[in-house]
Amino acid sequence: MNIKIGTRGSLLALWQAEYIKAKLEAGGLTTEIIIIETKGDKILDRALSKIGSKGVFTEELEEQLHIGAIDIAVHSAKDLQSELHKSLSIIAFTEREKTNDVLVSNKDIDVDTEITIGTSSTRRVAMLKSYFPHFKIVDMRGNLQTRIRKMEEGQCDALLLAYAGVNRMKYNELIRYEFDNKTFVPPVGQGTVAIEISNNLDKNKADVVRTLCNDLETEQCLLTERAYLKELKGGCSIPVFGNAKLLEDKIHFTAGIISLDGKEIVKTTEIQNNESPAELGIKIANIILANGGKEILEKIKAQL
């Protein structure tokens, strides 16, 4: 059985594709990797929020799934929009890495001083404005290697990135500060790789891929997070956050929304009792909306 793997062309995306390739080939399948350039890869002179909030890094891969040019699309789960086309499904989430955000730099930095941070994430910008208001923030687009080069050229003192990507690309020696993810809560999906398929894919192929790649604990957490994001109708440009952990067979879910200027934040933590993962995500979304999140969301959409 041969599996055609669709991926973006950055080194980090290719790491993810090779990671999936290795899992599939260990299970006896043959594979081929097909590189597809996305809108988010092509447009680097604008902030992500100005390009569009849906499918910035996924649309072109999904088009190839629709026409059968690839069997599976491999994504960073945090890049996936909250609502998929009805003909598409996610069949696997890989075992999750540490979800924290980190600061990386080629020099020593002191987070208590005024330093310049590079990031293109509206969530990270809003949280920095709230928790580190003395930081100066500059928009920083491009793949990880491009951003590190820009930092080394002096465009910023440090980059704000996900630990998982830094670790996968072996830049750990550049980590200068790790944010507490109980306060600096990561986005939905951070730290895991998602596999997307067309519902027309041969069922036997889909079942084998899921069996070889899906981590059940991570899946429970991601079903919670993605149900929350879908109910909240939060896109990539909306500073929404959500992080679920499975502890003693119960999901502990912290989630919320923060205003663009960092001055308003609605956040809550719930522990799953009788709800399914999706029910817990929806429940939290409605708690957030009912306690000021709806007004924050409306303001954000008017500003973007």
Active site residues: 79
What is the maximal distance between C-alpha atoms in the chain?
Answer: 56
66: left (phi over 0), alpha (psi -120 to 50) or beta: alpha
Q: Which residue has the tokens 């980590």?
A: 175
Extract long-range pairs of 283-287: CB within 8 Å, 24+ residues apart.
Answer: 284/228, 284/242, 284/253, 284/255, 285/227, 285/228, 285/229, 285/231, 285/232, 285/255, 286/231
Distance separating alpha carbons of residues 131 and 292, to the nearest angstrom: 20
Measured CA to CA in angstroms, residue 245 lies from 29, 90, 151, 289, 302 at distances of: 32, 20, 33, 22, 33
